[in-house]
Amino acid sequence: MMPGRQINVPLGFGLAGLILMLGVPSMRPVSADDNIKQPNVAGSFYPGDAAGLSKAVETFLAQAGQLKTSGAIGVIISPHAGYVYSGGVAAYGFRAAAGQAIKTVVVLSPSHYFPFRGVAIWPDGAFRTPLGDVKVDEELAGRLLSQDKRFHADRAVFEQEHGVETQLPFIQKVFPGAMIVPVIFGQPDLSVAEAFGQALAVAAIHRQDVLVDVSSDQSHFHVDQEARTIDRRGLDAIEAMDVEKFWNGHVSGQMEVDAFHAITAAMIYAQQSGYTSAKVLKYATSADATGDRSRVVGYASVAFTHPADGASAAPAVKEESAGIAPLTAAQKERLLAIARSTLDEFVRTGRVPGVTEADPRLQQEEGAFVTLTRNGQLRGCIGNIIGQGPLYRTVHDMAIAAASEDPRFQPVKPEELKDISVEVSVLSKPRVASGADAIVMGRHGVIVSRGYQRGVFLPQVATETGWSKEMFLSELCSQKAGLPRDCWQDPTTKLEIFTAEVFGEHETGK
């Protein structure tokens, strides 16, 4: 992944012309204690009455027809212009995802009117349209807000914004009762986009009922053929899932997607979550609606799906994988079987069982932890951060150590075995973090060290405890390393991060 850097791009480029085409949104102030967001553009961007709006959306969806994709859809890109121009295009992504059991839609939009740094999230309450109120998923919004200090709750940013609002009637018709997490991206900053994409993947890691909807138009105010050429460059990079090419295309001015920073975040989320196949479902320009080809806006509907063969995505942070392939389901099953049989025999007999393994992947040298829980409570956890032999042998050894050498617990007794579950964490090679901002809660495990004092937390500690990043690091310093709680803020303290493939018997029903 590229090093983070910020570029300055005018907010809402081509905005004056867009307002002339689509109408001026109303400017209803949103007070700090008002958690119901009133509509801005009802009656201008889309019909202002429930009957007219319902009919318009249903017509667009019907015209899109029945669409087939290669797998479950996790991300869509939809335009946010007036429905007369872009509603027919937007319908394609929503129609393709129709039928999925979606409970929450995370709507990502650029800021067209309000300049700011970072990401703004509407934290609670609801958004209102002529079709009714759409509740905010407060739990998921809260989890995102806790991940990074650059993510903040700020209702004022949403005052005039239409990017989120234009998506809501489609959500209400296609996913009745679904909640939303409204998100607006400020000035383009690659490090923010990367952090948000990874944080969202962590926050939604156990949920198959989340859809990410990026509200974005394409290029603005070129001659029609030129617009199509420019837009094709960006869409090609999206379909190739090439984050670096897509970002650099906007840095160089070769591409002009207005929400490119939000799309970058969504692409990283998609890579992390396995939605690695991207396809343009529909493309058009405003000329297709108006006939005027002299000055157009481009619109596209894109869907990101799981590959047809069900394969998982490679991690977005390529340097963390060190060229080692992810474990297959069968390999995870084998490691769990090794840990379980080793644990059972050692605890029952006191003997260290032998183990052999022919799979070359399991002979790779990697760090691993084995965690034991009894009735949901920690019962032992020991591991090697750096690989010191074949992975299967490390898992074998750490199963014994977790049962007998964790200083926090007495050795496991035979009568406890029936209530104990085994979890294995296979670790990437640690790398030095540039600072606390580089840590993504729930994705990264962290090692803190100063001199001979050292402590480590696995990635799942953040998920299981619900700690903020500050609490996570403070507990790591004091509880695990015996250092001052604020030592992580000291530049002389070394912070290292790693990722983990975590799997356990509870996931396989054993």
The 10s digit of each residue's pLDDT in 213-224 is 999 999 999 999
Tell me if 240 sits within 8 A of 255, measured CB to CB. no
DSSP character at residue 476? I
CA distance 94 to 56: 14
DSSP 135: E
**Predicted confidence (pLDDT) at residue 126 exceeds the cutoff of 80:** yes
- Name the band, by pLDDT with cuts 50, 70 and 90, for residue 324: low
Instruction: Tell me how many degrees the CA angle 134-140-107 measures, rounded to the nearest 5.
Output: 50
- In DSSP notation, 391-452 reads HHHHHHHHHHHHHHT-TTSPPPPGGGGGGEEEEEEEEPPPEE-SSGGG--TTT-EEEEEETT
Residue 454's DSSP bridge partners are 449
Rama region for 14: left / alpha / beta (φ>0; ψ in -120 to 50; rest): left
Cα–Cα distances (Å) from 342 to 337, 361, 398, 415, 422, in that order, read: 8, 20, 10, 16, 11
The residue among 77, 139, 132, 142 whose CA lies nearest residue 107 is 77
The residues spanned by each domain of the chain are 15-65+74-305, 319-426, 430-510
Residue 262 pLDDT greater than 90, yes or no: yes
Residue range 15-65+74-305 in CATH 3.40.1160.10: no
pLDDT exceeds 90 at position 335 = yes
Contact 227, 218 (CB under 8 A): yes
Q: What is the CATH number of domain 319-426?
A: 3.30.700.20
CB 7 within 8 Å of CB 188: yes
Nearest Cα neighbor of 203 from 144, 259, 254 is 144
How many CB atoms are closer than 10 A to CB 113?
16
Write a three-state SS string for 268-320.
HHHHHHCCCEEEEEEEEECHHHHCCCCCEEEEEEEEEECCCCCCCCCCCCHHH
- pLDDT tens-digit profile of 53-66? 999 999 999 999 87
Q: Find the mean pLDDT for residues 429-435.
A: 85
pLDDT tier at 105, thresholds 50, 70, 90:
very high
pLDDT at residue 4 greater than cutoff 90:
no
Contact 22, 85 (CB under 8 A): yes
C-alpha–C-alpha distance, residues 150 and 155, integer Å: 15
CATH superfamily of 430-510: Hypothetical protein ph0010; domain 2 (3.30.1490.150)
